[in-house]
Amino acid sequence: MSKSNNVYKDAFNRCLRLLDETKSLPSEPELGTLLGVSRTTVRSILSRMEETGLIAWNKRSKTVLRVPKPEDFFPEEETDSLAEIIERSFMRRLLAEGAEAGMQINELELAREIGVGTTSVREFLIRFSRFGLIEKRRNSHWVLKGFTRAFALELTEIREMFELRSAAAFVALPQESAVWADLEGLEEEHRQLASEIATRFNEFSELDERFHRLIHRASHNRFIVDFYDVIAMIFHYHYQWNKAEERQRNAVAVQEHLAYIAALKSRDPGKVDAACRKHLKSARQTLLSSIPAGRQVQPA
Amino acid sequence: MSKSNNVYKDAFNRCLRLLDETKSLPSEPELGTLLGVSRTTVRSILSRMEETGLIAWNKRSKTVLRVPKPEDFFPEEETDSLAEIIERSFMRRLLAEGAEAGMQINELELAREIGVGTTSVREFLIRFSRFGLIEKRRNSHWVLKGFTRAFALELTEIREMFELRSAAAFVALPQESAVWADLEGLEEEHRQLASEIATRFNEFSELDERFHRLIHRASHNRFIVDFYDVIAMIFHYHYQWNKAEERQRNAVAVQEHLAYIAALKSRDPGKVDAACRKHLKSARQTLLSSIPAGRQVQPA
DNA sequence: AAAATGTTTTTTCACGATAAAAGACATTAT
DNA sequence: ATAATGTCTTTTATCGTGAAAAAACATTTT
């Protein structure tokens, strides 16, 4: 089973949604750009759509014959890439009870448990190692460093350093820069969310990421921009395991963001610094409070 | 040829040197710790030493029969790990003429050129990607970002941020901390080197790395400590390709280090900050001046 | 002639297999 | 009883292989 065709399946599903919206299909290369896949994959998609009677396809003419039904879609779980599957399994283990710092990580065992080849697991671990949660012993196993309080403090220390610098760079950007329009858009989204926070509070995490990434990008430094991947990963799982007071926390954070945005728009470095610090401080508090009790202690 | 036995060969060579120095061999587990390999490998080494008449081996008794000859050693090139081989080949290509930013990197081609499997090349590229010089296009090739002036500036920006913070943390360390003794030792090594700089200037780069790593470790932040890997890698190759004025540059750097060390020992944060900034500024200049002319321009 | 479609080649991704190396367990010597 | 040696098992490192997906090339359509 050398390689799953999840790219095809995922693109197929997205293409179905597109078809449902527009009731028509563009040329093959255009569709490829739209879906982010090669023409080879586009043609596989079109072939199947033809077979299942969704469209009539003859060279350039693509006629939509019927509206997609739920059965036309591939099951969601078949559209995930192997990397996503491995990450999920690994994080579940990591956040489960009994995942103590210092523990060994066994590639073969992980691979067997998840039901994938060892190569994929190895590659995942190498990629994952940059998050600072695991470490490799040369010619030997990986060691889990654990999601400890120390980890959270080290992570937030860097985050604060980077974001303060990025925010300072942000206000120095010329008025013509596209970021100001982006900021305007994000402000509007924040206002919308704030007004319906009671019901939509769970949409915050996605907005949060987009907002902070916009700021980090102003640094024009690849190391700062890339570091946000570490933060995003941690916060992604943080939001999954810590649901306590979520609504209240997010309501506060939205207001902090709005104050932060106002400071940025004022272009007053002092105000920006203050608003940024305030928000980062409460973000750190939130993260620290979510660390499971058993993981508070760091090994010697 | 599924796996080379370079671990064994390298450990064997190191064991020969050990034997030459001490004229005796400890127990198997002890030897394993000493060489950083498992007992399995230790036993392979001892077997060969017995076969080639270097020692007589019967259970606990290991008698040295003769002094190692040059022919007893495995050739140096057989002791390199695959990762090292790939890294060297890759860097040679990267620093060679014609390695323009934006260029595609082909795993298969690289693997064929170096004469290794694609898996090893893939793993290398994933590991290497954290240095910020290459980037992966999803489901597709890698793109070379190039060793440009922009890269050097982004790298040094982070370096300066991290080192200033680490140096500040350093002076706050209690007098009992072992770092002060380490610093003392490094100071002495610097003095030695300074007095013989005319002939030993090429030993500076190794000392430089140890000195800066000591300072970065004071941050007690894994992200800062790990980032030094990026700097070390760049400087490692930088020292290889930029030999212009090397003696003079290193002489200056040694003096800057000595001033920096004096500032640290004074425990005066202001002095430390000044000495650190001064040194980092000239380090940045050196790095910038070494960027080949053809790579100064960054693509849009 | 520009842009699409049709066809072929190349590359990436993932697996199972195998030797090297590590690690675990059993036995023996001090 | 501790620490070594002897033996066996498991894991890691690496390759070759094959299907999925991308990319390149050739041909047709507008």
Which CATH number does the domain housing residue A104 bear?
1.10.10.10
Could you tell me if A127 and A53 lie in one domain? Answer: no
> Position of tokens 């586009």?
A42
Q: Which two tokens stand for residue A170?
A: 């942000």
pLDDT at B300: 37
- B26 occurs within a structural domain: yes
Could you tell me if A72 and A86 lie in one domain? Answer: no
Chain B residues near residue A4 by CB distance under 8 angstroms: none
Cα–Cα distance for residue pair B73/B10, rounded to 1 Å:
9
Is the Cβ atom of B38 within 7 Å of strand C at any atom? Answer: yes
- B119 occurs within a structural domain: yes
> Tens of pLDDT along chain A (300 residues)?
689 999 999 999 999 999 999 999 999 999 999 999 999 999 999 999 999 999 999 999 999 999 999 999 999 999 999 999 999 999 999 888 778 889 999 999 999 999 999 999 999 999 999 999 999 999 999 999 988 999 999 999 999 999 999 999 999 999 999 999 999 999 999 999 999 999 999 999 999 999 999 999 999 999 999 999 999 999 998 888 788 888 999 999 999 999 999 999 999 999 999 999 999 999 999 999 888 765 444 443
- A97 occurs within a structural domain: yes
Could you tell me if A173 and A266 lie in one domain? Answer: yes
Could you tell me if B177 and B262 lie in one domain? Answer: yes
Chain A residues near residue B220 by CB distance under 8 angstroms: 154
Q: Which residues of chain B have pLDDT under 50?
A: 295-300
- B1 occurs within a structural domain: no
- B267 occurs within a structural domain: yes
Are the CB atoms for B194 and B239 separated by under 8 Å?
A: no
Residue A234 vs residues A145, A283, B131, B268: alpha-carbon distances, Å: 14, 12, 21, 37
Q: What is the pLDDT of residues B164-194, one digit of tens each?
A: 999 999 999 999 999 999 999 999 999 999 9
pLDDT at B294: 55
What's the domain range around A224?
149-295
Could you tell me if B70 and B125 lie in one domain? Answer: no
Could you tell me if A29 and A131 lie in one domain? Answer: no
Could you tell me if A102 and A154 lie in one domain? Answer: no
Residue A85 vs residues A37, A97, A113, B88, B168: alpha-carbon distances, Å: 20, 20, 12, 33, 43
Positive or negative: CA dihedral A224, A225, A230, A231: positive
The CA distance from A222 to the nearest CA of chain B, in Å, is 7
- A300 occurs within a structural domain: no
Beta strands A134-136 and A104-105 are: unpaired
Claim: this prediction has a pTM higher than 0.85: yes
Cα–Cα distance for residue pair A82/A15, rounded to 1 Å:
21
- Which of B77, B93, B127 terminates a domain? The answer is B77
Chain B residues near residue A123 by CB distance under 8 angstroms: 122-123, 126
**How many domains in chain B?**
3
Q: Per the CB < 8 Å rule, is A126 touching B123?
A: yes
Report the largest interatomic distance among the alpha carbons of chain A, rounded to a whole angstrom. Answer: 69
pLDDT at B239: 81
Q: How many other C-beta atoms can be found within 10 angstroms of the C-beta atom of residue A200?
A: 15
Chain B residues near residue A2 by CB distance under 8 angstroms: none
What backbone torsions phi and psi does residue A135 show, to the nearest 5 degrees? -145, 145
Q: Which two tokens stand for residue A225?
A: 């921009």
Could you tell me if A251 and A154 lie in one domain? Answer: yes
Burial class (CB in 10 A: 0-12, 13-18, 19+), B67: exposed
Are the CB atoms for A216 and A224 separated by under 8 Å?
A: yes
Quick one: which H or E segment has residue A64? strand A61-64
- A95 occurs within a structural domain: yes
Whether B133 and chain A come into contact, CB under 8 Å, resolves to: no
Could you tell me if B71 and B203 lie in one domain? Answer: no
Burial class (CB in 10 A: 0-12, 13-18, 19+), A287: buried
The CA distance from A24 to the nearest CA of chain B, in Å, is 27
Residue B130 DSSP one-character state: G
- Which of A54, A77, A100 terminates a domain? The answer is A77
Are the CB atoms for A25 and A57 separated by under 8 Å?
A: no
Is the Cβ atom of A58 within 7 Å of strand D at any atom? Answer: no
Are the CB atoms for B273 and B164 separated by under 8 Å?
A: yes
Quick one: which H or E segment has residue A56? strand A55-58
Could you tell me if B161 and B266 lie in one domain? Answer: yes
Could you tell me if A104 and A218 lie in one domain? Answer: no
Are the CB atoms for B64 and B25 separated by under 8 Å?
A: yes
- Which amino acid, B151? F
pLDDT at A298: 46
What backbone torsions phi and psi does residue A225 show, to the nearest 5 degrees? -60, -45
Could you tell me if B156 and B133 lie in one domain? Answer: no
Among residues A80, A50, A48, A47, the alpha carbon closest in space to that of A63 is found at A50
The CATH number of the domain holding residue B180 is 1.20.120.530
> Is residue B142 classed as helix, strand or coil in its secondary structure?
strand
What backbone torsions phi and psi does residue B136 show, to the nearest 5 degrees? -95, 135
Cα–Cα distance for residue pair B262/B283, rounded to 1 Å:
19
Q: Among chain B residues 42 through 61, which have CB within 7 angstroms of nucleic chain C?
A: 44, 59-60
- A1 occurs within a structural domain: no
- Which of B118, B144, B170 terminates a domain? The answer is B144
pLDDT at A293: 63
Beta strands A55-58 and A134-136 are: unpaired
Is the Cβ atom of A109 within 7 Å of strand D at any atom? Answer: yes
What backbone torsions phi and psi does residue B148 show, to the nearest 5 degrees? -100, 175
- Chain A interface mutation, best of B8, B107, B158, highest count of A Cβ atoms under 10 Å: B158
